[in-house]
Amino acid sequence: MNEDNVILIVDDVSINIQMIKEILNEDKVYKFIFATNGNQAVAVTRKAKPDLILLDIIMSGMNGFEVCEVLKASSETADIPIIFLTAKTESEAIVRGFELGAVDYITKPFQKDELLARVRTHLKLRQSERALRENKKNLERLVQEELEKRRKQEELLIQKSKLESLGRLAAGIAHEINQPLAGIAMGVENILLRTVNKRIDKEYLKHECEFLLQDVDRIKHIIEHIRIFSREQQSVFFENVDIKEVVENALLMVGKQYENHNIKFLLELEENIAPVFGNKYKLEQALLNLLSNSKDALEDKSRFETKLIKIKTYQDTEKICLEVEDNGKGISEEDVEKLFEPFFTTKSPDKGTGLGLSITYGIIKEMRGEISVQSKAGEYSRIKISLPKIINQ
Ligand SMILES: Nc1ncnc2c1ncn2[C@@H]1O[C@H](COP(=O)(O)OP(=O)(O)OP(=O)(O)O)[C@@H](O)[C@H]1O
Ligand SMILES: [Mg+2]
């Protein structure tokens, strides 16, 4: 038994206190404190926080029941076990004592063995209860730590994924700019060649410069778009958005890169479609995420197979729809259910984080839209986004 166990004995007859103390002293490991009335008992308990209280019921002034009630009402003292001291005949009192939260009772006159046994038992119980509580606390702390660790890991992953998609976008943009740049280089070379050969005339020069300017414009256009795109991604600004423009801008960013991967685009963009309400750069990000998934899904196809991505926009009475379909490896029925969950991925860690679709989902929900998927493994995937249509504007 723990040497630190402090027992409070409350009785208004001091000879009783002496008797109890003598019996319990056989164990030689308890410290005793005393109270001879109810008020004193409450005050001593609050101050000393004993491990066990032996409480006489009948006392003048505040009786044992009242002391018990006061102690149980305060969270500081509520869990200190109380054993009532009663006369043998007081069976009603015993019931009342239990109702008030006592753990046990001992009848007077005291039997030595019974008193020792009950006190030992309840002190032991209290000790195990404490140990349990301590364990529970430790467990909760461990769980908390584990959760925190996981949250940090997820944060890192999100950070990594943002960097990766930035990297992917940068690679795409390089392709987009390379094309017109190659055009410019060729044009300038042609002009130089003709100058050397003295076969240059005004008409030719004018014609060639017009071509050059077209390419310069294209590069300017791409760079301007990237600038706004990266800035407006963070914005919460909503406006009427033309979905066709969103598709065209996304292709401006990655179209050539995909074509270099032998991917063919099939565009079915309905003209004069009603606008939707949202942020066009976020919507473009959503579409870029879908396109990037399609590109990955088409990767394993051989050079001799056609790699297709179909982008379709159309409207019905209430909605504007955008579909992205590819004839890539498709999605198994089992995976379809988890598709929009953050961190769900079937790709290797250097290829995918599993955030693309969950981010897309968030963007579409923010615009009060719906996103769904249809697929057949080995054949195709089709992601459909529908957004509320803005009418009469
Ligand atoms: N068009 C598709 N064809 C086949 N599988 C797809 C397609 N789109 C999504 N998936 C499946 O859904 C998973 C989750 O896609 P999501 O875009 O959320 O993450 P990811 O592409 O794996 O990684 P991240 O987009 O973060 O780089 C993918 O790993 C893939 O298995
Ligand atoms: Mg993805």
Topology (CATH) of 6-110: Rossmann fold (3.40.50)
N-terminal to C-terminal alpha carbon distance within the chain: 83
Q: List, by residue range, all CATH 3.40.50.2300 domains of the chain.
A: 6-110
In this structure, which amino acid lies at residue 275?
P
The reported pLDDT for the residue numbered 1 is 47
Alpha carbons 383 and 306: distance in angstroms, whole number: 20
Pair 254, 172: CB distance under 8 Å:
yes
- The kind and range of the H/E element at 56 are strand 52-56
**291, 299, 310, 345, best to mutate for ligand 1 pocket (most atoms within 8 Å of CB):** 345
Q: List, by residue range, all CATH 3.30.565.10 domains of the chain.
A: 236-388
CA 361 to ligand 1 center in whole angstroms: 12
CA 142 to ligand 2 center in whole angstroms: 34
The reported pLDDT for the residue numbered 212 is 94
Going by alpha carbons, the residue nearest to atom 4 of ligand 1 is 330
Going by alpha carbons, the residue nearest to atom 31 of ligand 1 is 346
CA 161 to ligand 2 center in whole angstroms: 10
Alpha carbons 156 and 209: distance in angstroms, whole number: 49
Exposed e or buried b per residue across 271-283, where buried means at least 16 C-beta atoms within 10 angstroms of its C-beta:
eebbbbbbbbbbb
The reported pLDDT for the residue numbered 231 is 74
In this structure, which amino acid lies at residue 374?
Q
In CATH, 236-388 is 3.30.565.10:
yes
The reported pLDDT for the residue numbered 3 is 58
For residue 187, how many other CB atoms are within 10 A of its CB? 18
Pair 320, 350: CB distance under 8 Å:
no
The reported pLDDT for the residue numbered 393 is 52
For tokens 């914005």, name the residue. Answer: 235
Which residues sit opposite 309 in a β-bridge? 265, 326
Exposed e or buried b per residue across 142-180, where buried means at least 16 C-beta atoms within 10 angstroms of its C-beta:
eeeeeeeeeeeeeeebeeebeebbeeebeebbebbbebb
The per-residue DSSP string of 275-341 comes to PEEE-HHHHHHHHHHHHHHHHHHHTTS-TTSPEEEEEEEEE-SSEEEEEEEE-SS---HHHHTTTTS
Sign of CA dihedral 13, 15, 21, 26: negative
Going by alpha carbons, the residue nearest to atom 8 of ligand 1 is 293
Per-residue pLDDT tens, the chain, 393 aa: give them. Answer: 455 799 999 999 999 999 999 999 999 899 999 999 999 999 999 999 999 999 999 998 999 999 999 999 999 999 999 999 988 677 888 899 999 999 999 988 889 999 999 999 999 999 998 899 999 999 999 999 999 998 898 888 877 777 777 777 777 778 788 888 999 999 999 999 988 888 888 898 999 999 999 999 889 888 888 877 777 777 778 999 999 999 999 998 888 889 888 999 999 999 999 999 999 988 998 999 999 999 999 999 998 899 999 999 999 999 999 999 999 999 999 999 999 988 899 998 778 888 889 889 989 999 999 999 999 999 999 999 999 998 765
pTM of the model: 0.63
Query: Which atom from ligand 1 is nearest to the alpha carbon of 357?
Result: 18
